[in-house]
């Protein structure tokens, strides 16, 4: 039951094939993530200890410091998972190392609300002890979901390794383009759906085989569709700059849409 194939139909009526992440890979990722969290918690408790024994600290101040540390621990424990999964396209450090990620059931990237829901449900998943409820649900559920996934409408999948050094990658390397050359925020990413990604992927694969005139025509057509979604006006940009932006956009999006 470690890995099973799952077919998902997106809101754009595109069928996607996923390999669900089972108990073993999810548990290993969780061990890595909690090891990181426990390390930081140890440092915080160590800091708290030295602060509390400081004779310059009054009892009232010690109480406020203690309350602050409790709040900080709560924020770290939940914020780590919530913000990592949202801003890192469904990944945490542990998930990244294990090659798994969280997505919405419809194949889209995880939303901020879903990240909040699934991670606050860890409180129930962890009951009565050692994540017993979560482990049982992942083991028994047909899609390997814990309670947080069920309530948030998410699934955890395996990411396929991308083929390296393909023609598109070589073309990008020759041009010297990198993600750092184009800033894209998370609100702009939300405007891009799977159809947009398919269009962009096809564009990048085809462009390197075309003549100069054909390149310009195709870039204009694709640029009019995609560049406004990242707040760029194609009519105000030269063709070579539009081309660069589209390929850099490809670099940004493939981590989200290539499974």
First to last CA, the chain: 20
A 10 A CB-CB count for 202 gives 12
Element (DSSP H or E) covering residue 21: strand 15-21
Could you list the pLDDT tens digit for every one of the 259 residues in the chain?
A: 455 677 666 665 556 678 888 889 999 999 999 999 999 999 988 988 887 777 777 777 878 888 888 899 889 999 999 999 998 889 999 999 999 999 988 888 899 999 999 999 988 887 777 678 888 888 888 888 999 999 999 999 888 765 554 889 999 999 999 999 998 887 888 888 878 888 999 999 999 999 988 999 999 999 999 999 999 999 899 999 999 999 999 999 887 776 5
A 10 A CB-CB count for 79 gives 12
Domain ranges within the chain, ordered by starting residue: 3-158, 167-257
Specify the residue for token string 């962009």: 200
Report the C-alpha gap between 58 and 45 in whole angstroms: 18
């Amino acid at each position: 039951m470690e890995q099973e194939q799952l077919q998902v139909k997106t809101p754009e009526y595109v069928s996607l094939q996923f390999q669900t992440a089972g108990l073993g890979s999810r548990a290993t990722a969780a061990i890595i993530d909690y090891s990181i969290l426990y390390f930081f918690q140890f440092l915080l408790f160590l800091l708290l200890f030295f602060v509390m024994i400081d004779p310059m600290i009054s009892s009232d101040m010690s109480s406020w410091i203690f309350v602050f540390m409790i709040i900080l621990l709560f924020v770290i424990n939940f914020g780590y998972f919530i913000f990592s999964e949202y801003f890192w396209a469904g990944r945490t450090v542990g998930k990244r190392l294990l090659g798994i990620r969280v997505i919405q059931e419809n194949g889209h990237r995880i939303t901020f609300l879903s990240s909040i829901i699934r991670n606050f449900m860890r409180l129930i998943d962890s009951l009565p002890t050692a994540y017993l409820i979560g482990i049982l649900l992942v083991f028994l559920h047909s899609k390997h979901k814990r309670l947080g996934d069920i309530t948030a409408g998410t699934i955890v999948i395996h990411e396929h390794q991308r083929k390296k050094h393909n023609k598109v990658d070589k073309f990008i390397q020759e041009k010297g383009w990198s993600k750092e050359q184009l800033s894209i925020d998370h609100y702009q990413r939300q405007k891009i759906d799977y159809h947009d990604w398919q269009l962009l992927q096809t564009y990048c694969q085809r462009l390197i085989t075309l003549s100069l005139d054909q390149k310009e025509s195709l870039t204009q057509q694709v640029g009019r569709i995609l560049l406004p979604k990242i707040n760029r006006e194609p009519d105000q940009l030269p063709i070579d700059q539009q081309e660069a932006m589209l390929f850099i956009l490809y670099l940004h999006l493939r981590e989200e849409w290539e499974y």
